[in-house]
Amino acid sequence: MPRTVVVIDPFEKTIENVTIEEGRPLLDQFRDRIDAPQLDTMMVADHLVLWVDNLGLLKGQKQRFWRMRDSPLRIGGRAILTRTDQDGMPMPLAVKPDELARGIEWCEDVRVEKVVETLEVEHSRFGPFPRVVRQVVWGGPEPVIEEVPPIEHESQMKVPGRQVYWLVYNDDESGDEDFLAKERVSEADGSGGFTGQERRFETLDDVRAFAKEMDLVFTLPEPGDSPIIAATLV
């Protein structure tokens, strides 16, 4: 099943749900997508993380900037938006680009004039020491902070005829009496199968919490269902 992330591009002024490749390291794909030799992350909303170019402020006059309208922080260059799971790991994300665009300002007249370095004294267990602090001096209009609606998103855009769900198994093979959840997809033409996404849980309460986080319905098996199925998440 395709997995998507959201690419924000201030050069083209576009927002796009982009499919990531199976079997290729995620960070390599992110670096290639946004042309960033080094990545950094920042939280922008509940369970939403932005992956940015760590050197984005230092790329000269050709760089382009953008910001979330509810924040003064300017972002240099392209960026990727993903969800995070309850453990803080990246998860797929799809949005309605037009809706997300209403909360973004393309900072066309903004530029970095210079980066000023100053010294501050920071304390550690070894004693005080000098720390270099960098501050960006911006050129162009000051940001105007606005209230914007929360980012609405789905883990995947819905495809007619497709059903994505999780089967939760009583995992006797591990010897820990825990539960193994496997994501599965069924297509309209009857094809489908497991996607390769798996999660392990210690208790059914943990499974319920995961279902709530993913906006899935937790269902216990019916009489006559396979005894190895502990629950389904749809």
Nearest-angstrom CA–CA distance, 76 and 67: 9
User: Would you state the pLDDT for residue 1?
Assistant: 37
pTM of the model: 0.65
Phi then psi for residue 211, to 5 deg, are: -60, -40
> Nearest-5° angle of CA 215, CA 221, CA 222?
125
Nearest-angstrom CA–CA distance, 100 and 103: 6
SS (H, E, C) the chain: CCEEEEEEECCCCEEEEEEECCCCCHHHHHHHHHCCCCEEEEEEECCEEEEEECCHHHCCCCCCEEEECCCCCCEECCEEEEEECCCCCEECCEECHHHHHCCEEEECCCEEEEEEEEEEEEEECCEEEEEEEEEEEEECCCCCCCCCCCCCEECCCCCCCCEEEEEEEEEHHHCCCEEEEEEEEECCCCCEEEEEEEEEECCHHHHHHHHHHCCCCEECCCCCCCCCEEEEEC
Q: Which residue has the tokens 């199968």?
A: 193
User: Would you state the pLDDT for residue 224?
Assistant: 66
User: Would you state the pLDDT for residue 233?
Assistant: 87
| Structural contact between residues 164 and 1, judged by C-beta atoms closer than 8 angstroms | yes
Closest CA to 165 of 211, 222, 221: 211
Closest CA to 6 of 74, 93, 131: 93
User: Would you state the pLDDT for residue 5?
Assistant: 93
The pLDDT tens digits along the chain (234 residues) read 348 899 999 999 999 999 988 778 889 999 999 999 999 999 998 889 999 999 998 898 899 999 999 999 999 999 999 988 766 778 888 899 999 999 999 999 999 999 999 999 999 999 999 999 999 999 999 999 998 877 776 554 455 556 778 889 987 655 556 889 988 877 666 677 888 888 899 899 999 998 888 878 888 877 666 788 888 887
Report the 10 Å Cβ neighbour count for 219: 13
User: Would you state the pLDDT for residue 228?
Assistant: 87
Which residues make beta-bridge pairs with 73? none
Residue 141, judged by CB atoms within 10 A of its CB (0-12, 13-18, 19+), counts as exposed
Q: Which residue has the tokens 């209230």?
A: 147
